[in-house]
Amino acid sequence: MTDRETVVRVESTCAGPARVRLQTGVLAPRLVARTAATVEVALVATTATLLGGDHARVRLEVSGGCRLVVRDVAATVAYDGRGATALWDNVIQVGTGGVLVWQAEPFIVSDGAEVRRSTRADVAEGGRLLLRDTVGIGRSGQTGGSLTCRTRMSYAGTPAVAEDLDLSPESRALPGMLGNARIVDTITALGWRPTAATDHFELAAPGAMARRLIRDAHASDVDSTWADWRSQLD
C-alpha cells in the first residue's frame, strides 16, 4: 500500500528561470524544460499503480505570470484490488495570470479494481487551465472494474464544474450511460471561452467542455479540439 503525494509547484522570480519545486510520490515529476516563464514537467510512475489500498495524490500549482505544461509518460492502470479500494486525488491551483496545461494519459480500470477518484481545480481570475482527462473501462478483453469520479472546479471563487460520475458496472449498464462505450475522453478549458469550437458545451464561468464516449481510444476525435484550444493559449 502506498500513500504519497506528487507535487509540482511553479512560481515566478524577479530574475532568471521560474522557481520549481518537485516532490516524488506515486509519480515522479521530471523537469523537461524551464525558462523564465514556462516550465515543462513529465510525470513518471515509480511503482506499479494503482493497487488496492493505495492513495495517490497529485498536486499541481502555478503562480501568476508562469506557465506549467504537464505530460504523463504512460497510462495509469488500476489493477485488481482484491476487495480493497484505491484512491486517487488531483489538486490543481492556478494563480492570477498563470496557465496550466495537463494532457493526461488514459486512466485504465482493470477487472477487479475499485477506485474513487477526485479532481479539484481552483483557478484565480485571469488564470487559465486546459485539462484532458481520459478514462478507460477495462484493459483489452476485459469488462472493467468500478470507478467513481468527483470533479469540482472553480473560477475566481465561483463554481464552474460540479460533476459526480458513477462508472460502476451496475451504473454503466443503465439506459443513457455508456452503452457499448469503454472510453470517456474529456477536455476542459477554464478561464477563457475557446473560439471556433464545435461539439462542446460552454460553462457558466468562462470556459468550455468537450467530451466523447467511444469504444476505442484511437477512435476519439477530440485530438483536433485539443490542438485548437491549446493553440489559443499561445
Average pLDDT over residues 223-231: 92
* Pairwise CA distance, residues 112 & 63, whole Å: 40
Predicted local distance difference test score (pLDDT) of residue 120: 98
CA 171 to chain centre: 22
Of all helices (H) and strands (E), which one includes residue 106? none
Instruction: Give the pLDDT band of residue 30 (cuts 50, 70, 90).
Output: very high
Query: pTM, whole model, 2 decimals?
Result: 0.93
CB atoms within 10 A of CB 203: 18
Judged against a pLDDT cut of 70, whether residue 119 lies above it is answered with yes
- DSSP code, position 79: P
Cα(129)–Cα(165) distance, integer angstroms: 21
Report which of 91, 84, 83, 77 is spatially closest to residue 54, judged by C-alpha positions: 84
pLDDT score, position 29: 96
Q: Is the pLDDT of residue 14 over 70?
A: no
Range of the domain at 30: 3-231
Q: Could you tell me the pLDDT band of residue 198, with boundaries at 50, 70 and 90?
A: low
Torsion of CA 50, 56, 59, 60, to 10 degrees: 0
**Is 145 in contact with 114 (CB distance < 8 Å)?**
yes
Number of structural domains, the chain?
Answer: 1
Q: Are 33 and 10 in contact (CB under 8 A)?
A: no
Q: What is the pLDDT of residues 46-96, one digit of tens each?
A: 877 899 999 999 999 999 889 999 999 899 999 999 999 999 999 999 999
Mean pLDDT of 33-45: 93
Question: Is residue 193 classed as helix, strand or coil in its secondary structure?
Answer: coil
Q: What is the mean pLDDT of residues 32-45?
A: 93
Q: Which residue has the cell 480493497?
A: 84
